[in-house]
């Protein structure tokens, strides 16, 4: 009977088309999740300053070794970032990137995040190596479109969704609380909806367990 039930489930799915035709004419396509890992952007603060401080943590954590960063002291008269240094050279080699977002997790200033763009192909190696000038958002805070990139509606939104969903380190006490800086063109973005009720219950349970442990320790 188990076998027949299994085939029954398969038969019920016949005619249930789940694929969405690819729109080659520039129209909207299947919606992508907010936290989609696509092509990176380098972010700027609301006042236009660059967030990257050239610390190279992203390059150090990258498992594919595809980021190259060089920091440089900020010119005192015209600083590029609010830090001591700024990302003078910044390159990502997309022939190697696996879009794991470890660079996003490692970045202390939320400088590097990802858009939803995944349709970019190259005809030469040089185009595959994105430079700082190509990655940095424009004066409206949106990613710059390079000639070979196929951006569709919504691909340039929620560029910091993954960072906002995971900061700070998954501690449920902070779920739903904005602990990130504002972005040029967007300000301080709202936290994801998530599951605040469940998170609050989880945080309360953790607090209670910690309290019990503390009491038990005191009795010893």
Binding residues for ligand SF4 (CB under 6 A): 52-58, 62-64, 66-67, 69, 87, 92, 97-103, 106-107, 109, 111-112
DSSP reduced 3-state for 148: coil
- Which bin fits 194, alpha (ψ -120 to 50), beta or left (φ > 0)? left
The CA distance from 52 to 85, in Å, is 8
Instruction: Give the burial class of 108: count Cβ atoms within 10 A of its Cβ; 0-12 exposed, 13-18 middle, 19 or more buried.
Output: exposed
Residue nearer to ligand SF4 on the CB measure, 62 or 161 = 62
Nearest distance from C-beta of residue 69 to ligand SF4, angstroms: 4
Contact 58, 69 (CB under 8 A): yes
Nearest distance from C-beta of residue 196 to ligand SF4, angstroms: 28
The CA distance from 86 to 45, in Å, is 13
Residue nearer to ligand SF4 on the CB measure, 112 or 137 = 112
DSSP states of 161-188 as a string?
A: HHHHHHTTTT-GGGTT---S--BTTTBS
Nearest distance from C-beta of residue 59 to ligand SF4, angstroms: 7
Residue nearer to ligand SF4 on the CB measure, 26 or 168 = 168
Nearest distance from C-beta of residue 62 to ligand SF4, angstroms: 3
Tokens of 86: 């700024």
Residue nearer to ligand SF4 on the CB measure, 112 or 172 = 112
Residue nearer to ligand SF4 on the CB measure, 117 or 175 = 117
Nearest distance from C-beta of residue 166 to ligand SF4, angstroms: 13
């Amino acid at each position: 009977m188990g076998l027949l039930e299994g085939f029954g489930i398969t038969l019920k799915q016949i005619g249930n088309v789940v694929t969405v035709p690819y729109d080659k004419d520039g129209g909207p396509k299947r919606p992508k999740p907010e936290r989609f890992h696509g092509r990176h952007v380098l972010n700027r603060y609301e006042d236009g300053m660059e967030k990257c401080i050239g610390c190279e943590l992203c390059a150090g954590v990258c498992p594919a070794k595809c980021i190259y960063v060089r920091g440089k002291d900020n010119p005192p008269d015209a600083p590029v970032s609010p830090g001591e240094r700024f990302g003078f050279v910044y390159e990502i080699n997309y022939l190697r990137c696996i879009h794991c977002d470890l660079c996003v997790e490692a970045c202390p200033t939320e400088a590097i995040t990802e858009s939803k763009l995944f349709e970019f192909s190259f005809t030469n190696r040089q185009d595959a190596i994105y430079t700082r000038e190509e990655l940095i958002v424009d004066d409206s805070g949106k990613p710059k479109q390079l000639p070979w990139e196929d951006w569709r509606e919504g691909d340039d939104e929620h560029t910091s969704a993954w960072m906002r969903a995971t900061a700070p380190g998954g501690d449920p006490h902070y779920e739903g609380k904005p602990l990130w800086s504002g972005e040029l063109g967007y300000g301080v973005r709202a936290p994801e909806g998530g599951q605040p009720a469940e998170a609050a219950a989880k945080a309360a349970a953790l607090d209670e367990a910690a309290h019990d442990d503390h009491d038990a320790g005191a009795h010893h």
